[in-house]
């Protein structure tokens, strides 16, 4: 369902975006509104990409100028850019909801189930564990980076100052990795979902292809 939702949002069609926003709001409410701090941080890190999307579409798309002059963006370009920004924010919100509401013991078997037709059992376990550890490592490294900058703030943009902070972060990451080697991860492969659970993604895909 997440993959289908992502494909629908990637089209950036207004009707899909409006429907996706409504579905996300409902799912967030049903999930008890998980912590929004993670979502805010994810969107904050995307701010320059979002600005670049609006800039590229707004100033490089032919159309009616927003104001007189050669440096004016076009109304059509800004409209397309904002739709693309909304699509990206919807996808990020959906991924955040999945990670916030799905514990490891459910997410890991789900990844294995998704790649089951294409892999052996041993390969499935290796891929699923690596994907899960990579997802968790991103959050941990971000937290370590914040701690390093808080303890050793970068007061200038000199190469030596940045390199010093990078070495501290690298050392902390290695220390955390050494401790993570003792972590036990239990891998339990689930049985195939019952047939009726496939109705929702099938209906979603049918509506998507009919509308498109």
Two tokens at 82?
């904002």
User: Binning pLDDT at 50, 70 and 90, where does residue 42 land?
Assistant: confident
pTM for the predicted model, two decimal places = 0.73
Within 8 A by CB and 6+ apart from 58, the residues are 73, 74, 77, 78, 81
CB 7 within 8 A of CB 208: yes
Percentage of residues of the chain with pLDDT beyond 90: 29
Lowest mean pLDDT among 88-97, 109-118, 200-209: 109-118
SS3 65: strand
Complete DSSP assignment for 105-126: HHHHHHHHHHTGGGS-HHHHHH
pLDDT score for 1? 86
Q: Where are the domains of the chain?
A: 1-101, 103-193
User: Binning pLDDT at 50, 70 and 90, where does residue 54 land?
Assistant: very high
Of 142 and 102, the one with more pLDDT: 102
User: Binning pLDDT at 50, 70 and 90, where does residue 160 land?
Assistant: low
User: Binning pLDDT at 50, 70 and 90, where does residue 209 land?
Assistant: confident
pLDDT score for 187? 67
* pLDDT over 60 (residue 181): no
Of 34 and 90, the one with more pLDDT: 90
Euclidean distance between CA atoms 161 and 153, whole angstroms: 9
Q: Which of 106, 107, 61, 108 is nearest to 81 (CA)?
A: 61
Q: Which of 75, 128, 83, 122 is nearest to 105 (CA)?
A: 128
What is the overall mean pLDDT for the chain? 81
CB 52 within 8 A of CB 79: no
CB 97 within 8 A of CB 113: no
pLDDT score for 10? 92
Of 32 and 161, the one with more pLDDT: 32
| pLDDT (mean) for 15-35 | 87
C-alpha to C-alpha distances, 169 to 84, 135, 159, nearest whole angstrom: 34, 18, 15
């Amino acid at each position: 369902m997440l993959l289908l939702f992502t494909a629908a949002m990637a089209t950036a069609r207004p009707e899909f975006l409006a429907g996706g926003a409504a579905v996300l709001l409902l799912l967030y409410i049903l999930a008890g509104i998980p912590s929004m701090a993670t979502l805010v941080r994810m969107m904050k890190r995307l701010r320059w990409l979002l600005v670049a999307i609006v800039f590229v579409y707004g100033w490089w798309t032919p159309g009616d100028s927003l104001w007189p002059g050669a440096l004016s963006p076009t109304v059509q370009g800004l409209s397309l850019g904002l739709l693309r920004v909304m699509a990206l924010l919807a996808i990020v919100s959906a991924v955040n909801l999945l990670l916030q509401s799905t514990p490891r013991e459910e997410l890991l078997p789900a990844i294995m189930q998704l790649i089951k037709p294409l892999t052996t059992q041993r390969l499935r376990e290796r891929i699923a564990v690596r994907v899960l550890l990579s997802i968790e490592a991103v959050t941990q490294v971000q937290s370590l980076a914040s701690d390093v900058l808080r303890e050793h703030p970068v007061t200038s943009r000199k190469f030596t100052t940045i390199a010093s902070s990078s070495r501290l972060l690298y050392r902390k990451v290695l220390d955390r990795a050494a401790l993570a080697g003792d972590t036990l991860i239990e891998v339990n492969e689930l049985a195939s979902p019952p047939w009726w659970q496939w109705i929702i993604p099938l209906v979603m895909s049918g509506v998507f292809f009919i509308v498109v």
